[in-house]
Chains A and B, each alone.
Chain A
């Protein structure tokens, strides 16, 4: 086992957990570009039903389909949050009226606590780069999903730090491309991921 930061994608039984397969590599690349954080070159998949998911204090969870935790998944997620982990959930449908949003928020409320709006001056938005709030993605208004710009992220906080972060902004689509394509971008749209990871590693 090493002491690197390892990007872990959460695998859950009920849905398409792997709908954004290029996000891990993209974020790993981003972390390496802007920081000196010791990051593993590839991501891992952490099944939520396996207690070994506790070895990865940062977990990324996404999908389109309903999220329904099994008892084992619920137990592990609860322990994960109690011990100081950060679970980042992104709705790949970006639809607050859709099944992913409804079922995932219900599961989080049942497992941990109800989600609440995260104020846009939270330290997350200034943990590395400065943002006035969650950066808008090019997918929020693409005609699919709820076609809304979501002004806030939702969170469950424990003892002053974010334990569960929920996004309806579809960062999964926004970041789901090969890192080599970054050269085409005038502004790197993955910079917010740096904030996420730095916040997770320092808060």
Chain B
């Protein structure tokens, strides 16, 4: 009969060999271990190289308050493709930025950003910060018009960085200024020429007698970017104006010109009776100080861009692929001549912006730099929607412990046998 001691010795040996067998078995057939690697927005890019070296059993999870750069998103997508479980969660601000050139001789870039309400936007380029703003509560985003910028433009929507390339400058075509010879026509043409626009004039002086520029181009988008009508004499251009606008050309209807028969159908509204203002002898004259022709009966598809008191002074409308701007001011020249200090430059700048906002821009060519960025969209597109982090699975017993137990059991068994012999 085996004694208890002997049974104990046998039991130790059996357990030891069982553990050895377990170790051999787990090394041949390893049980899947679930490890979750975590990172945040600030260090996810730095962790990616080490993540790449982790076994594919490891789950990778990023907590993002800003979408990573395109490189980071592509890398994470590649890791998922390689077998990793890649998940992310967080609330990066949904934003998209688009850059387009300002159609003006002086160039410039317009950056429009769609961003959540109340988010803070900071625009910069390699030369430093350009400007910043906060999206209003009801606003869909914000816009920047930058006269001079370098290389690519970087934008921060809260902590979300976006990058757009600076689009190539577009040299605008000539603009045609049509009107009766008078101060408004003279100073509008002069202001645009001073700003670098190529201006073709057609000023009516007497029946059949016009003061014209050297060349009179055809009224089409191959020759002209915009037509500026100072008064109703734009009617002499006939149906060519409508064709021009529908092809993409721009039309500015100043003063009462929107009432001319050939353009009234294009105008954003009709021309209301002129609002006159009393100007005191000591008043400094600004834009609209002496009154304007209000845009009345604004069409449904038109937008009122500027109001003054109860009247609309500037309204805009798209016609075909072109744009029409109706400007109620008919004597902006008074602002230039008799305005406050700097009014000459302000008048010039204002008219250049008016024309630039409707000027025809040719279609973008192939090979243009990347002028839009939507990092959150790319994140969703490559990695899917946000998900909670996977649960970490329990890991197996440490093999070193098992080895120690095996050795201990064998030692106990051998010691017991030896001591038995000594007794």
Contact = CB atoms under 8 A, between A and B. Distances in A.
Interface of A: 1, 3, 5, 34-38, 51-52, 54-55, 57, 80, 82-85, 127-128, 159, 161, 198, 200-203
Contacts of B372: none
B334 A84 contact: no
A201 B188 CA distance: 11
A38 B233 CA distance: 13
A37 B180 contact: yes
B405 interface: no
Contacts of A55: 285, 334, 337-338
Given A37-B182, A54-B337, A83 B205 contact: no
Given A3-B331, A52-B338, A203 B186 contact: yes
Contacts of B181: 35, 37, 198, 201-202
Contacts of A85: 337
Contacts, number: 77
A51 B339 CA distance: 10
A51 B338 contact: yes
A199 B213 CA distance: 13
B320 interface: no
B205 A5 contact: no
Contacts of A128: 205, 209
Chain B CB count within 10 A is highest, among A51, A84, A198, A200, for A84
Contact of B290 (A1, A37, A83, A201): A1
A125 to B, nearest CB: 14
B206 A34 contact: yes
B336 A37 contact: no
12 contacts: A1-B291, A3-B183, A38-B182, A52-B281, A52-B338, A83-B344, A84-B190, A127-B211, A198-B181, A200-B186, A201-B181, A202-B211
B331 A202 contact: no
Contact of B205 (A3, A35, A84, A159): A35
A68 to B, nearest CB: 25
A202 B190 CA distance: 9
A3 B330 contact: yes
Q: Which 7 A-B pairs have the closest CB atoms?
A: A54-B338, A202-B211, A201-B181, A1-B290, A35-B206, A54-B337, A83-B344
A35 B334 CA distance: 23
A85 B187 CA distance: 10
Nearest to A200: B186
